[in-house]
Each structure stands twice: as structure tokens, then as C-alpha cells.
Amino acid sequence: MDFTLNEDQLAVAGEIDKLAAQFKSSPVDFHGFALYSAELDKQLEDNQFFDIAAMPEMGPLAAALAVERLAQLPYTAEVALSMLLRPALNIELPRPIAVIENGRPGRFVGVAKTLIIIDGDSVGIAHPQAGDTQAIPESLFAYPMAKLVGKLDVQLLSESEADIVRTWLRVACAAEMAGLLKAAIDATVEHISVRKQFGRPLGTLQALRHRMAECAVLAGGVRWLALKAAWSADAGDAALAALHAQESASRVIYDVHQMSGAMGMTLEMDLHLWTYRMKALMSELGGRSGQAEAAGKYCF
């Protein structure tokens, strides 16, 4: 594997960073859960960033890096499926794209123009109309959540197409989780570097330093497995990446909230924007048991 970026990929990464810089801080008066930005979505669309993976000189690896970078923002938009899943299918998929898994509410469902409908072993595609979805504003998952209330005309995919969908849903999950993990860890490091206890910053305490190091190792593993899966497009790699992402998130969420103390439980600190998004991702595609079963199927 060679993850060294070429000149074109480096240029795109630089442009993503420039765009992301406009959205790196949440509004001072924001004290909610879902910080969705239609403007972020529009700028990504206008600059054709959703087509990165389809460009021969870019590919899925560059798209996965973009997903990871954008997931670190306090703002959110439907990015991962548009950048990674849509180019993998030879089907016209208007975006935004969202997933309805076994009838459960999903993220970005309320704004989606394409729904991936997963019902047991079957996978289909539908295009909702006005009134087919209903927002869930009280959701705590830090994404704009909605549920399906209308009856849709679902186009079932072939078995091979369904396998492609599941593979890239797992890659997208792992890539997004990599960015969320990094952002949560960075926010916690900043907090314990300035918060003092016993007359010195919490970050100087060896026990906390060791735990943060373990969190960083887990996050690094998620990132590299996600990039490997994007590079190889292999179903086994994707299952392992998603499994490690969901497993690692459970441990890291616990640690960063505990180390952030009372501030980590308030809406004034942006930590919840990343950790509660991870909680939503932890249950996707059957959760950890679903990824473990897929890893066993494809890898062993």
C-alpha cells in the first residue's frame, strides 16, 4: 500500500482545508445538538468536491481523506455517502443520500433526495417526495435525524450491487468515524491542557496522559484501516475498518467525556457534537456484531 498523495491530491486536500476553515468554530450562541450547515453542503457541491472519487487522478483514497477532514468540523452535512458510495455504483443517485436501516430513523433522511433502504438482506433505492419523511428535532444524535412516514417505490438492487453498497457504507462509516475521533480527542487535549487540578494542568497527570495516548492509538488505527479499505475497495477490509471504528468509539467516547468532567456534559463545549455523532454511527449496519459477522464472512 502506498498512501503518499500525488500533487493533484495534495492540491485538493489544501482546498478542502481552506473551505473547512470557514466552519471550524461553532456559533457562540449555539447550545443545541444538530449543527447542520446547508452552506457547507452548497460550497462542497459548487466546488465539485463530491466528485473526487470519480476523478482518475483522485480516487476513493482522496475522497476518504476529505470525509475524515470534514468530519472534524463542528458543523455537519451529508458528505461521506456522496463522496464514497455514489461513485461506486453505476446508478444515478441524486444527493443528499441517506440510509433507512430496517425501518429505523436515520441521519440526513429529512433532506435526502436518495434513500438507501436496507431491509434484512435486501437493499434498495428510493427517492422520497415531500411528506414522505418526518424530522425528529428532539434527537440527541447531533445529526439532523428523520424517519420515513410515506410509502416509497423501492428499486431493489442485485446481490452484487447490494454487496457494493454495504462495502462502501462501511468505508464511509470508518472514514467519518476517524475524523470524529480525532476531533473529540483534540477537544479533550485542549481542555485538560488548560483545566487545572491540584495546582497544575490535568494534562500533566501521568494517568490521563496514558489514557489519552491509548485513545490516540485507537483513532490512528481507525484512520489507517479506513484508508486501506478506501484504497483496496475490499469487502473484508471495509468490514474490519468499520468494526474497529465502532469498537474504538465506545472506548474513546467514555474516556473523553470522563476526562472533560462537567464541561464535557454541557452544550457549551463542542465535544458532544462529535461523540453523539459517533453514537449514531456505532449502530449502523448492525453495529459491532454486524461488522464482526461481515469480517468473519469476508476475511476468514
Please report which confidence band the pLDDT of residue 3 belongs to, taking 50, 70 and 90 as the band edges.
low
Please report which confidence band the pLDDT of residue 138 belongs to, taking 50, 70 and 90 as the band edges.
confident
Please report which confidence band the pLDDT of residue 199 belongs to, taking 50, 70 and 90 as the band edges.
confident
The reported pLDDT for the residue numbered 270 is 87
Q: What percent of the chain stands above pLDDT 90?
A: 74
Instruction: Show the domains of the chain with their CATH numbers.
Output: 160-299 (1.20.140.10)
Residues ≥6 apart with Cβ < 8 Å to 101: 118, 284, 285
Measure the CA–CA gap between 267 and 259, rounded to whole angstroms: 16
Please compute the mean of the pLDDT values over residues 67-74 and round it to a whole number: 96
Please compute the mean of the pLDDT values over residues 171-200 and round it to a whole number: 88
The reported pLDDT for the residue numbered 265 is 72
Q: Is the pLDDT of residue 38 over 90?
A: yes
Residues ≥6 apart with Cβ < 8 Å to 93: 85, 86, 114, 125
With CA atoms as reference, report the closest residue to 35 among 281, 274, 246, 283.
Answer: 274
Measure the CA–CA gap between 226 and 245, rounded to whole angstroms: 9
Tell me if residue 257 falls in helix, strand or coil: helix
Q: Which residue has the higher pLDDT, 161 or 206?
A: 161
pTM, two decimal places: 0.93
Contact 263, 191 (CB under 8 A): yes
Q: What is the pLDDT of residues 225-267, one digit of tens each?
A: 999 999 999 999 999 999 999 999 999 999 999 887 767 677 7
Q: What is the pLDDT of residues 202-215, one digit of tens each?
A: 766 777 788 889 99
Q: Is beta strand 114-119 parallel, antiparallel or unpaired with respect to 122-126?
A: antiparallel
**Could you tell me the three cell numbers for 54?**
470519480
